[in-house]
A = this chain, B = another copy of it.
Amino acid sequence: MSPAPRKTVIIGGGAAGLGAAGGVKAADPSADVVVYTEYEDVAYSPCGIPYVHGGEIPDFERLFLAGKQAYVDAGIDVHYETAVTAVDTAAHTVTVDGEGTVPYDTLIIATGWNYADPGVPGGDLEGLYFVKNIRKAMEWDKVISETKSAVVVEAGPLGLEMVTALAHRGVETHLIDPNPYALAMMADPDIMAPVEESWRELGAHLHFNTTLEAFVGNGSGKVRAVATSGGEIPADLVVVATHKVPNNALAQAAGLKIGSTGGIIVDERMKTSAPDVWAAGDAVEIPHGLTRTPLQGLTGSHAYAQGKTAGTNAGGGDRAYRAVYVPWATPAGKWVIGGASFGETTATALGIPYVLAVAEGISRARYYPGVQKVKIKLLAEPGTLRLIGAQMIGGGEGIKERADFLAQAIRFGMTLHDLATMENVYSPAIGALNEPIVLAATNGLTAGK
């Protein structure tokens, strides 16, 4: 008789939870793997939702990655619309709505994130849209079709995408944000200025240094305006894109160690402070590779890789997840922006000194049709000139790939010298004589003299 298979319970059906399920099965094909999700679906891309709203992607159906049968076939038992209400780490059990007490050998918490509570009156009005669930997004898309005027609350990554999407849909779109410019928690003002300009060209109204005070109802339970520090803005629809906070309620109640960001603390193997309990995704915090300061709320790609790590280890394998250097990029207005680790704003806020290396280059030969500007800012540690961050804006060509590269360059301690002497492809239709990264690094060396 073979031994009884080990049972892994996974709480959460997002990128981290499904990455974890796959990781467990890869490490231990005989494992029982049960995934609990509160939603009707797993395996779709929530990141695609703003682009369906904006009309770039023709329908929501395309966002589904795999049918439910694919998980059945892979031996992963997904329980849909099923909430887990408690974890008992001593007893190795979870409490599940409609299923009672369920035992586990190993547990993976991938409960994700929630929008930060805006903390103002009117939060229960109709017409407040928190972009997250695909089924709800399908309904909201019909609402958008009939919306004349919308307010997007906060200019974070999702707020950026939704401003662009609503403007593309012809909605009169207002953005409110308490900071002096958009994406201020990540990006530098000189990177964002052209983005803001292009939103204005799309007809969007930008209200910075503006605090949300209330959602204002029409007397029948539906929003009709947003009250702000700068006055009332009429709105049929409000996209509440406040920042992400870790959904750590279950973990906290179970006594797991929680970090300064509110994320669950995990080690390199994504193990929590409790025996046989792992965690992954937006519910955890991860150290930054340069400063070791904890970060929370990274991307779906990070969540997936963390989940895979947690699952591999829970399944008896051995896999480490390293500190992060955070490449990022996103379309914004008519531009694509991106970067890695620190910009000037974040470095300054953290008291990190830097040498700046800046250039405006091009994506193809100057004379080749479709050539785009690529502005690159590199930040380096004074003295060593080791790269500590980068920010970019361009028409789109190569921004994502350069962000990936620069994050890896930071991880490997590359200096401005190393980047100034890197070779680059020169082929008129696809690359310029001088790579913009090389130009920026070269300028930084001269400036440092």
Contacts and interface: CB of A to CB of B under 8 A. Distances in A.
A421 B324 CA distance: 10
B57 A434 contact: no
Copies in the complex: 2
Contacts of A325: 423
Most chain B Cβ neighbours within 10 Å, of A397, A426, A434: A426
Interface string A321-343: 01011111111000010100000
A47 interface: yes
Given A405-B401, A430-B329, A430-B400, A56 B368 contact: yes
A322 B421 contact: yes
Interface stretch (A174-182, A276-284, A407-415): A407-415
B48 A365 contact: yes
A404 to B, nearest CB: 5
Return the 7 tightest CB-CB contacts between A and B, nearest first.
A401-B401, A301-B426, A62-B367, A400-B431, A405-B405, A398-B401, A400-B425
Interface of A: 15, 45, 47-48, 51, 56-58, 62-63, 65, 299-302, 304-305, 320, 322, 324-331, 336, 338, 365-369, 396-405, 407-409, 411-412, 414, 418, 421-431, 433-435, 437
Given A51-B368, A51-B429, A327-B424, 18 more contacts: A45-B433, A47-B427, A301-B424, A301-B426, A302-B423, A322-B421, A325-B423, A328-B425, A329-B427, A396-B430, A398-B398, A400-B431, A401-B401, A401-B431, A404-B425, A404-B437, A412-B412, A412-B418
